[in-house]
């Protein structure tokens, strides 16, 4: 075991260089004043009080949570029927339809979003609707794949047993299929909600600068204004929101797992 433990050192080094160190720098910038050198750091909470004292920033955060929520809901409404339909097909056809679902993902997401920018330019939609359409299009494949994986792994004998006991198709779906597929739904929620709430290039390309989300604020303060301290504070607030969301979804996943045992 000790010889195999040595193989973990490259991963530890990679995590330290690309995850731990950047996060440490973000935390340092978030709790320090602008213009400090490493040797003369002055700690402050003004970056966080600035975020919550100005009504604009909480509104942007709420807007990000709202559009991420509705994006997730619509991805479930579209993804579950699609995944259920695919799971009912033969194995060869399942592979074909999953290929069709994942095929657009082979193209860079920015390019796909640019394509939607051209398409939506012909319609007189609001910036919010355009951003919403772009998010649903880009993230719905993740929901379909996760739900399909749960449905395809489901024990078909349970459905047969429910039918033998007199359950109709609706009862079988509500009492057998849906509960057993909930882990896939929860995994899909995680893969859709988290990137949607922090997305910045979709609202930037489709919103035309009129629909700003929290990801756009972070990008703006890091890239445009150069205020890394305030940008880091917003990043930590966003990271806290993401961790709370992950905790909730993980707890739901555990409860669903206990109910299905």
What is the number of alpha carbons within 13 Å of residue 247 lying toward its C-beta? 6
Those residues with Cβ within 8 angstroms of residue 80's Cβ, 6 or more apart along the chain or in another chain: 143, 147, 181, 185
DSSP secondary structure letter of residue 43? B
The single residue listed with the structure tokens 């905790």 is: 247
Give the three-class secondary structure for 254: helix
Q: Which two tokens stand for residue 139?
A: 């993230």
Closest residue by Cα to residue 196 from 52, 73, 59, 56: 73
Whole-model pTM?
A: 0.87
Give the three-class secondary structure for 136: helix
pLDDT > 90 fraction of the chain, expressed in percent and rounded: 44
Over the stretch 177-210, which tens digit does the pLDDT of each residue have? Answer: 888 899 999 999 999 999 999 898 899 999 877 8
Where are the domains positioned within the chain? 58-260
Overall average pLDDT of the 211-236 stretch: 90
Task: Give the Cα separation of 215 and 233 in Å (integer).
Answer: 13
Fold of 58-260: MetI-like fold (1.10.3720)
**Quick count: other Cβ atoms within 10 Å of Cβ 127?**
16
Over the stretch 119-157, which tens digit does the pLDDT of each residue have? Answer: 998 888 899 999 999 999 999 999 999 999 999 888 888
Per-residue confidence band for 33, with pLDDT thresholds at 50, 70 and 90: confident
Per-residue confidence band for 4, with pLDDT thresholds at 50, 70 and 90: low
> The dihedral of CA 157, 146, 14, 243: what is its sign?
negative
């Amino acid at each position: 075991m000790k010889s195999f433990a040595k193989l973990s050192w490259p991963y530890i080094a990679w995590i330290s260089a690309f995850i731990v160190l950047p996060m440490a720098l973000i935390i340092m910038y978030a709790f320090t004043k602008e213009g400090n050198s490493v040797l003369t750091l002055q700690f402050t909470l003004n970056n966080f009080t600035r975020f919550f004292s100005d009504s604009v920033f909480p509104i942007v955060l709420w807007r990000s949570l709202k559009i991420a929520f509705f994006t997730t809901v619509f991805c479930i409404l579209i993804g579950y029927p699609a995944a259920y339909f695919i799971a009912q097909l033969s194995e060869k056809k399942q592979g074909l339809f999953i290929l069709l679902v994942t095929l657009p993902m082979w193209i860079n997401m920015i390019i796909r979003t640019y394509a939607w920018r051209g398409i939506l330019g012909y319609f007189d939609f609001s910036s919010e609707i355009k951003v919403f359409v772009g998010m649903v299009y880009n993230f719905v494949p993740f929901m379909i794949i996760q739900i399909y994986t749960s449905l395809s792994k489901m024990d078909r004998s349970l459905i047969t047993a429910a039918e033998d006991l007199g359950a109709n198709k609706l009862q079988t779906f509500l009492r057998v299929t849906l509960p057993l597929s909930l882990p896939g739904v929860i995994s899909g929620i995680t893969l859709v909600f988290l990137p949607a709430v922090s997305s910045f290039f979709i609202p930037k390309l489709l919103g035309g600068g009129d629909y700003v989300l929290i990801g756009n604020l972070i990008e703006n303060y890091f890239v445009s204004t150069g205020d890394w301290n305030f940008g880091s504070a917003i990043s930590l607030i966003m990271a806290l929101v993401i961790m709370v969301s992950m905790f909730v979804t993980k707890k739901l996943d555990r409860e669903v797992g206990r109910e299905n045992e």
